[in-house]
């Protein structure tokens, strides 16, 4: 298998970072193609912790080339910082990090607008990461975006930025002063210019040559702009199809779609989470920090819910998932009993389709199946046979309900805490 798309099947934070990190070892090329620095993941490698927002974490392997393709929106300040901090830790990026000239820039006025909209929405706020992602994608669709190709060319940038700021006056937004912003852009542009390269051409060449390519999805299925729990979603397409579109690649190039799903469910920000724990269940899961359930990007505590097989089935369909990775099984180690949501009811009736409207999603009553817990430490397990039989039963039930084979199981943050349950998930 040469081309794998890794996609989150819940509300983001499924533990994709670790799965991508492991698969990257065998990949020649790693591609990021949607979202921006609203995403983030933490990797623990050789006892060191690394946080990534824009640059694929696969950069930690010296043999890889990492591409940030046209579908991404990148905050130049954050990107410059990330490049600097990676280089300071001894990783060489020259010729290994390629930034597409098609990608759009998130500028300070996008961040300001993001916060302003949230403030105006008041109690209907989305709970965005405040990174300017929505306003940047809105500008892109409005044909008011600034792409890296022009950003790194002072003459083109000046013309474009003047034009954009002039048109922004239509919104009567607090006017942005041209000169200081232009200065800042020149500074960022100068730093980024050496990385600008025809990333999409490089990707196409790699695919034609049959090299192992890993597409690193950001966020999660239910944050998708179209099929997520709108309007409590992000502003990009988070599905496998959007990942390919953002990379400028047609659907026939994908060999496998690996869906990553947590052994339970989490969500940050506002919006419906049908299987959210009831007040009396909260204490069962303990401290969010110990569970590593604090957002990498904003430091917010994540909301917790039981595994939702009904939603996961829909996510599998939306992404064309061919195999799954189940993460954070160890977090359930201390529970006496574990719940799996098998269906929703609305006004007493079984719901056939995943609800379109958030008003319905807030009202659905999940129906649960209870399975016994294992009350043993799974974080030390190295193979399927080491797992307690109750844990194996839990995995089997998820496979049955979701109709998807689990190929990878994660039982802790370290690379070594990974079980390969079937072999075909490997890249390469
Ligand atoms: P935005 O992407 O900053 O506009 O935020 C929109 C919604 O998506 C908010 O609820 C965020 O918390 C959520 N969100 C965006 N990116 C991620 C992610 O990578 N993981 C989890 N939630 C995210």
Q: What is the mean pLDDT of each run of 10 residues along the chain (428 residues)?
A: 91 93 94 95 78 92 96 98 92 95 98 95 92 97 97 97 89 75 95 94 95 96 97 97 97 96 95 94 84 83 96 98 97 96 98 96 98 97 96 97 97 92 58
Ligand 1 within 6 A of 41 CB?
Answer: no
151, two tokens = 């950003």
The pLDDT, as a whole number, for residue 280 is 87
Q: Whose CA is nearest to atom 12 of ligand 1?
A: 269
245, two tokens = 């579109």
Ligand 1 within 6 A of 265 CB?
Answer: no
Helices and strands per DSSP (H, E), number in the chain = 13, 19
Q: Of all atoms in ligand 1, which is nearest to the CA of residue 40? A: 19
Ligand 1 within 6 A of 136 CB?
Answer: no
pTM over 0.85: yes
Mutational pocket test of ligand 1: of 262, 268, 304, the residue with most ligand atoms within 8 Å of the beta carbon? 268
3-state class (DSSP) for residue 396: helix
Ligand 1 within 6 A of 240 CB?
Answer: no
Mutational pocket test of ligand 1: of 223, 295, 296, 297, the residue with most ligand atoms within 8 Å of the beta carbon? 223
The pLDDT, as a whole number, for residue 172 is 64
Cα–Cα–Cα angle for 72, 17, 29, rounded to 5 degrees? 60
Ligand 1 centroid to Cα of residue 300, in Å, is 11
3-state class (DSSP) for residue 371: strand
Beta-sheet strands, E only, within 23-96: 29-32, 41-45, 48-52, 65-68, 73-74
Tell me phi and psi for residue 288, to 5 degrees. Answer: -60, -35
The whole-angstrom separation of Cα 426 and Cα 411 is 18
The pLDDT, as a whole number, for residue 425 is 44
Ligand 1 centroid to Cα of residue 156, in Å, is 32
Ligand 1 within 6 A of 73 CB?
Answer: no
Give Cβ neighbours of residue 77 (< 8 Å, ≥ 6 apart).
Answer: 188
Ligand 1 within 6 A of 225 CB?
Answer: no
Ligand 1 centroid to Cα of residue 133, in Å, is 9
Cα–Cα–Cα angle for 46, 51, 57, rounded to 5 degrees? 70
Ligand 1 within 6 A of 219 CB?
Answer: yes
The pLDDT, as a whole number, for residue 337 is 96
Ligand 1 centroid to Cα of residue 128, in Å, is 6
**CB atoms closer than 10 angstroms to residue 136:** 27
Ligand 1 within 6 A of 126 CB?
Answer: yes
Ligand 1 centroid to Cα of residue 246, in Å, is 18
Q: Of all atoms in ligand 1, which is nearest to the CA of residue 130? A: 3
DSSP string of 171-217, one letter each residue: GTPPPPPHHHHHHHHHHHHHHHGGGB--HHHHHHHHHHTT--EEEE-
The whole-angstrom separation of Cα 76 and Cα 172 is 25
- Known catalytic residues? 13, 41
The whole-angstrom separation of Cα 59 and Cα 70 is 19
Ligand 1 within 6 A of 262 CB?
Answer: no
The whole-angstrom separation of Cα 57 and Cα 361 is 34
Q: Whose CA is nearest to atom 1 of ligand 1?
A: 128
The pLDDT, as a whole number, for residue 291 is 83
In contact, 26 and 427? CB cutoff 8 Å: yes
The pLDDT, as a whole number, for residue 236 is 96
Q: Quick one: which of 409, 371, 366 has its CA closest to 387? A: 409
Residue whose tokens read 């917790």: 304
Q: Whose CA is nearest to atom 10 of ligand 1?
A: 269
Ligand 1 within 6 A of 127 CB?
Answer: yes
Ligand 1 centroid to Cα of residue 126, in Å, is 9
Q: Using DSSP bridges, classify how beta strands 337-346 and 323-327 pair: parallel, antiparallel or unpaired.
A: unpaired
Beta-sheet strands, E only, within 256-358: 256-262, 265-267, 303-305, 307-308, 323-327, 337-346, 349-350
Q: Of all atoms in ligand 1, which is nearest to the CA of residue 13? A: 20
Ligand 1 centroid to Cα of residue 154, in Å, is 32
In contact, 67 and 98? CB cutoff 8 Å: yes
* Helix or strand (DSSP H, E) at 105: strand 104-105
Give Cβ neighbours of residue 162 (< 8 Å, ≥ 6 apart).
Answer: 178
The pLDDT, as a whole number, for residue 174 is 62
The pLDDT, as a whole number, for residue 49 is 82
């Amino acid at each position: 298998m040469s081309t794998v798309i890794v996609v989150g099947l819940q509300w983001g934070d499924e533990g994709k970072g670790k799965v991508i990190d492991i698969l990257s070892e065998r990949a020649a090329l790693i591609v990021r193609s949607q979202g921006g620095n609203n995403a983030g993941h933490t990797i623990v490698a050789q006892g060191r912790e690394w946080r990534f927002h824009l640059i694929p974490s696969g950069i930690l392997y010296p043999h890889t080339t990492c591409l940030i393709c046209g579908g991404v929106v990148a905050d130049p300040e954050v990107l410059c910082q990330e490049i600097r901090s990676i280089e300071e830790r001894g990783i060489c990026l020259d010729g290994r990090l390629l930034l597409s000239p098609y990608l759009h820039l998130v500028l300070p006025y996008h961040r300001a607008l993001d916060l302003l909209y949230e403030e105006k929405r008041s109690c209907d706020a989305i709970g965005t990461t405040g990174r300017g992602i929505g306003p940047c994608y809105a500008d892109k669709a409005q044909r008011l975006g600034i792409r890296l190709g022009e950003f790194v060319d002072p003459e083109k940038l000046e013309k474009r930025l003047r034009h954009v700021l002039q048109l922004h006056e239509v919104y009567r937004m607090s006017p942005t002063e041209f000169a200081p912003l232009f200065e800042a852009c020149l500074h960022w542009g100068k730093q980024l210019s050496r990385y600008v390269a025809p990333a999409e051409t490089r990707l196409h060449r790699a695919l034609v040559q049959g090299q192992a390519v890993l597409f690193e999805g950001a966020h999660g299925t239910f944050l998708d702009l179209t099929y997520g729990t709108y309007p409590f979603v992000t502003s990009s397409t988070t599905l496998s199809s959007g990942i390919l579109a953002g990379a400028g690649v047609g659907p026939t190039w994908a060999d496998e779609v690996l869906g990553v799903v947590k052994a339970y469910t989490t969500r940050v920000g506002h919006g419906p989470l049908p299987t959210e724990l009831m007040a009396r269940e909260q204490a069962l899961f303990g401290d969010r920090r110990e569970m590593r359930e604090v957002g990498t990007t904003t430091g917010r505590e994540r909301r917790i819910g039981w595994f939702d097989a009904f939603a996961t089935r829909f996510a599998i369909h939306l992404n064309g998932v061919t195999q799954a990775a189940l993460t954070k099984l160890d977090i359930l180690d201390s529970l006496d009993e574990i719940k799996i949501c098998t269906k929703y009811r609305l006004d007493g009736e079984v719901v056939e389709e995943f609800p379109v409207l958030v008003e319905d999603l807030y009202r659905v009553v999940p129906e649960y199946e209870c399975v016994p817990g294992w009350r043993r430490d799974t974080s030390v397990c190295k193979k399927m046979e080491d797992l307690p039989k109750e844990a194996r039963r839990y995995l089997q039930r998820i496979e049955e309900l979701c109709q998807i084979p689990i190929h990878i199981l994660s039982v802790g943050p370290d690379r070594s805490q990974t079980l390969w349950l079937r072999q075909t998930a490997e890249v390469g």
